[in-house]
């Protein structure tokens, strides 16, 4: 299990400073070490393996919210763009006919 120490956040509640640890004791030790400068630092047990751009943090409540809906929507959009690009590169009978007629 991994542990993510969230040390600081941006004004729009994104992670600004973080550190990963393999065990809880090391994560807690890091929080204690930075507590004077970053009193709102906290540990998240077993965070999702996806990018931090899909995470919102509330340093006061010490909460970590992963937006899997936004991640899934962006994955679907990326996959659709890839499929559209793949299909646009294929030559179909209709494209040949349309090119000859115009």
Structure tokens, 35:
């507590």
| CA–CA dist 19, 85 (Å, integer) | 38
Q: Model-level pTM?
A: 0.68
Measure the CA–CA gap between 52 and 57, rounded to whole angstroms: 10
In the chain, where are the structural domains located?
Answer: 3-66, 68-102
**pLDDT of 50 higher than 80:** no
pLDDT tens digits along 12-26: 999 999 999 999 999
Angle (CA) 21-25-29 rounded to 5° is 85
Q: How far is CA 36 from CA 24, 30, 39, 91, in A?
A: 20, 11, 6, 64
Chain segment 58-80, per-residue pLDDT in tens: 999 999 898 888 888 999 999 99
| Beta strand pairing call for 63-66 and 55-58 | antiparallel
């Amino acid at each position: 299990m991994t542990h993510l120490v969230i040390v600081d956040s941006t004004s729009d509640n994104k992670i600004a400073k973080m550190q990963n640890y393999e065990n809880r004791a090391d994560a807690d030790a890091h929080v204690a070490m930075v507590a004077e400068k970053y009193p709102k630092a906290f540990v998240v047990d077993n965070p999702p393996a996806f990018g931090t751009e899909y995470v919102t943090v509330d340093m006061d409540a010490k909460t970590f919210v992963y937006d899997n809906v936004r991640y899934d929507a962006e994955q679907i959009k990326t996959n659709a763009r890839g499929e559209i690009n793949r299909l646009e590169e294929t030559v179909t009978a209709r494209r040949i006919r349309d090119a000859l007629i115009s």
